[in-house]
A and B are shown apart, each in its own frame.
Chain A
């Protein structure tokens, strides 16, 4: 199975700053089928990015995804207060469709 390692585990930043989150796969992700999700406490995850770099419907353009093969990045260009949450990557190119362990983005 494809293992996904997210870094850092916790990221402390201030509103207005730029956030860069990493997701590294143990092997190349088929067809770059890599998604990013945001989860806030008590709520279901929300799809942000699919296919490594495509924003889901309704997602603000301050969120962007990049990368290929084993290395992927989620960038939030200017943090808004509502962006502080936990972020997960998931690969859905190779069964089982594994998740990373998550990055907590907290207010500094």
Chain B
């Protein structure tokens, strides 16, 4: 069965960086994109961007250009999201989700809480 398992919660200081991993299984890794979505406490869903594990191509929401990097490791079927220069308003649950081009985000990871606090 399709599974996306994310790394555990993180607490970071302002200005630091964080890397969240998303390990996939149960399907052909290179046949689907992976999207990243974040959700601040009590708020709605925010699209960050996506990566194609097939060729490494990425597409970021404007807000995240230069501040976030998505990478894929085909040897372990794992996708990574690095966010740099963390601020308190980056405190959120970060989700990865499998992205099929015509069917949206059909399988989701469990989410990773990143807390930014001094």
Contact = CB atoms under 8 A, between A and B. Distances in A.
Interface in B37-58: 37, 44-47, 49-50
B59 to A, nearest CB: 6
Contacts, number: 66
A56 B106 contact: yes
Interface residues of A, number: 26
A83 to B, nearest CB: 19
Q: Is the interface of A mostly helix, strand, loop or mixed?
A: loop
Given A44-B111, A45-B108, A51 B46 contact: no
A63 interface: no
B47 A90 contact: yes
Given A44-B111, A97-B35, A50 B106 contact: yes
A96 B105 contact: no
A50 B47 CA distance: 17
User: Interface extent on B, as a size class?
Assistant: 20 to 34
B102 interface: yes
Given A44-B109, A96-B62, A90 B104 contact: yes
A95 B102 contact: no
A86 to B, nearest CB: 8
Interface in B69-118: 95, 97, 99, 102-106, 108-111
Contact of A88 (B45, B50, B109): B45
Interface of B: 35, 37, 44-47, 49-50, 59-62, 95, 97, 99, 102-106, 108-111
